[in-house]
Amino acid sequence: MPEAARIPAIEETTSGMDDKALLSSERGVGQTLEQALARFLSRTPVLARETVVLGEAEGRVAAESIRARRAEPGYDQATRDGFALGPTASVEAIEATFSIQGEIPAGRTDRLAVAADTAWRIMTGALVPAGAVRVVPQEDCRQIGEEVVVPAGSLMREQRFIQRAGSRIAEGRTVAAAGEEITGQHLIWLAVTGNDRIPVYRRPVVGYLCSGSELVSIEESPVPGKKVSANRYLLHALIGRAGAIPLDYGIIADDVERIGRLLLQIGGSGVDLIVSTGGVGPGAYDVFARALDQIGGEILCRQLAMRPGHSLLVGVVGRSLYVGLPGPPSAVSLVFAELVVPVLRKMNGLAVLRHEDVRACLESDLSIRDSEETLFLKEGKLCYRDGGVFVRLPAPLETADCTLLLEPGCGPFCKGRVVTVHRWCCR
């Protein structure tokens, strides 16, 4: 695991800085992303454990290491349709002949044996008879009546087409590690090793709302000056993709009193995280900070040395964590990926919290004013060719798949420059 993906690597950025120093840093350009994320994660709990049936475990996070309760395969089995052969003394001959004792279909459970110079016709997955030295695929044999003729080359082949009991997964081996997301592949391993009740972490519940007096729902026909709230649908998708349960609290106007009442309502409902969009701009537009102040909420961060995300809000409402994101959907996607996803990953119990750093080569110049203090985020499109990793800005209506992190003081960002990229993934 890359060091940047671990909590200690995040916390190092705030080593020796107390809360007063961190809040003081906001009065200038703001906290760095690392500082803000470290404070946010320090207040983020890993949620309680629960047990689910195997069919409901996909996408959940293992709360403890889950071990194989039985070996896989549980018996010696054939890996090809063909003939299970007993030993023979005819290996020096051009071919050998074996008398066929019968057939073993998949699912037959009686314990059979094969004697020297005899064979059983056998199907893929069937129980290999005791004494069998190999299975020869049927296309390599000639059956003549009740006998099968096998070329000497097939008798000398290293591959025996028998999978021995426990050769894939030994009893007691870890099938899913603690803190690991359970995938479809895990479901196969867990099923065949006898694990039907899976200990996982509870999924976080996220209440979200979109603010803006100009916003209307999609059912309405917006008149000039009004627009449909796309962030409602974006947040629902981002939250679900991050392994959380989204709860839609709708659209709200830029009204401090109403926002405060709604935040109290959501916080009192027991959600783990509240996410809002809009209403975190400077001055009179900073309605969420004023609402938090009025209802007695705690503010952890109000400004980042990052664009987009320079104006945002991180805090606590009752027992719920809170993050207020910018209004533009592209900014919502970028800041959510870098600031909110690690928090949800920690709540989910995942061992790796941060995106993996990928180094990619710019395919074109980026027109970005370099700054000694500000981290710039851009949506990107990755491509892989000639053994290299390349990134560019997406074309209009082309979906992005990563974040470009353009570090302070590292410009200009010209074609061929290698930059850090975070791939977007399901979690």
What per-residue confidence (pLDDT) applies to 29? Answer: 60
What per-residue confidence (pLDDT) applies to 427? Answer: 56
From 157-161, 169-173, 330-334, the region with the lowest mean pLDDT? 157-161
Q: Is residue 187 assigned to a domain?
A: yes
Domain boundary among 347, 374, 402: 347
Q: What percent of the chain is predicted at pLDDT more than 90? A: 85
Q: Rounded mean pLDDT of 187-208?
A: 98
Which residue did the predictor score with more confidence, 325 or 5?
Answer: 325
Q: Give the domain range for residue 92.
A: 77-163
Q: Is residue 118 assigned to a domain?
A: yes
Q: Rounded mean pLDDT of 135-142?
A: 97
Domain boundary among 347, 371, 402: 347
What per-residue confidence (pLDDT) applies to 15? Answer: 40
Residue 417 in this model has a pLDDT that exceeds 90: yes
Per-residue model confidence as pLDDT tens digits over 304-351: 999 999 999 999 999 999 999 999 999 999 999 999 999 999 999 999
Q: Is residue 266 assigned to a domain?
A: yes
What per-residue confidence (pLDDT) applies to 370? Answer: 75
Which residue did the predictor score with more confidence, 378 or 354?
Answer: 378
Q: Is the CB of residue 359 less than 8 Å from the CB of residue 391?
A: no
Encoding tokens for residue 7? 């909590």
Domain co-membership, 257 together with 321: yes
Domain co-membership, 207 together with 341: yes
Encoding tokens for residue 383? 């491509």
The CATH number given to whatever domain includes residue 140 is 2.170.190.11
Domain co-membership, 8 together with 103: no
Q: Is the CB of residue 176 less than 8 Å from the CB of residue 66?
A: yes
Q: Is residue 352 assigned to a domain?
A: no
Residue 21 in this model has a pLDDT that exceeds 90: no
Whole-Å CA distances, 312 to 222, 335, 340: 27, 9, 12
60-79 residues labelled b (16+ CB within 10 A) or e (exposed): bbbbeebebebbbbeebbbb
Q: Rounded mean pLDDT of 26-30?
A: 57
Domain co-membership, 290 together with 337: yes
Rg (CA), the chain: 30
Q: Rounded mean pLDDT of 356-361?
A: 94
**Residue 91: pLDDT band with limits 50, 70, 90:** low
What per-residue confidence (pLDDT) applies to 355? Answer: 87
Residue 300 in this model has a pLDDT that exceeds 80: yes
The CA distance from 300 to 322, in Å, is 9
What per-residue confidence (pLDDT) applies to 20? Answer: 45
Burial-class residue 351 by CB neighbours within 10 Å (0-12, 13-18, 19+).
Answer: middle
Q: Is residue 319 assigned to a domain?
A: yes
Domain co-membership, 176 together with 307: no
The CATH number given to whatever domain includes residue 221 is 3.40.980.10
Domain co-membership, 206 together with 315: yes
Per-residue model confidence as pLDDT tens digits over 364-395: 999 888 788 899 999 999 999 999 999 999 99
Domain co-membership, 316 together with 213: yes
Number of domains composing the chain: 4
The CATH number given to whatever domain includes residue 383 is 2.40.340.10
Residue 2 in this model has a pLDDT that exceeds 90: no
Which candidate, 121, 112, 114, places its Cα nearest to that of 86? Answer: 114
Mean pLDDT, the chain, whole residue set:
91
Q: What percent of the chain is predicted at pLDDT more than 70? A: 92
The CATH number given to whatever domain includes residue 191 is 3.90.105.10
Domain co-membership, 297 together with 413: no
What per-residue confidence (pLDDT) applies to 372? Answer: 85
Which residue did the predictor score with more confidence, 34 or 425?
Answer: 34
What per-residue confidence (pLDDT) applies to 426? Answer: 56
Q: Is residue 148 assigned to a domain?
A: yes
What per-residue confidence (pLDDT) applies to 201? Answer: 99
The CA distance from 151 to 140, in Å, is 8
Helix segments in 83-227, DSSP class H: 152-156, 184-192
> Which residues sit opposite 400 in a β-bridge?
none
Residue 193 in this model has a pLDDT that exceeds 80: yes
Residue 10 in this model has a pLDDT that exceeds 50: no
Domain co-membership, 246 together with 197: no
Domain co-membership, 91 together with 153: yes
Domain co-membership, 265 together with 148: no
Burial-class residue 20 by CB neighbours within 10 Å (0-12, 13-18, 19+).
Answer: exposed
What per-residue confidence (pLDDT) applies to 172? Answer: 98
What per-residue confidence (pLDDT) applies to 89? Answer: 81
**Residue 282: pLDDT band with limits 50, 70, 90:** confident
Q: Is residue 86 assigned to a domain?
A: yes
Residue 217 in this model has a pLDDT that exceeds 90: yes
Residue 13 in this model has a pLDDT that exceeds 60: no
Q: Which residues contact 20 (CB under 8 A, 6 or more apart)?
A: none
Domain boundary among 133, 163, 193: 163
How far out from the chain centre does Cα 208 lie? Answer: 21
Domain co-membership, 178 together with 225: no
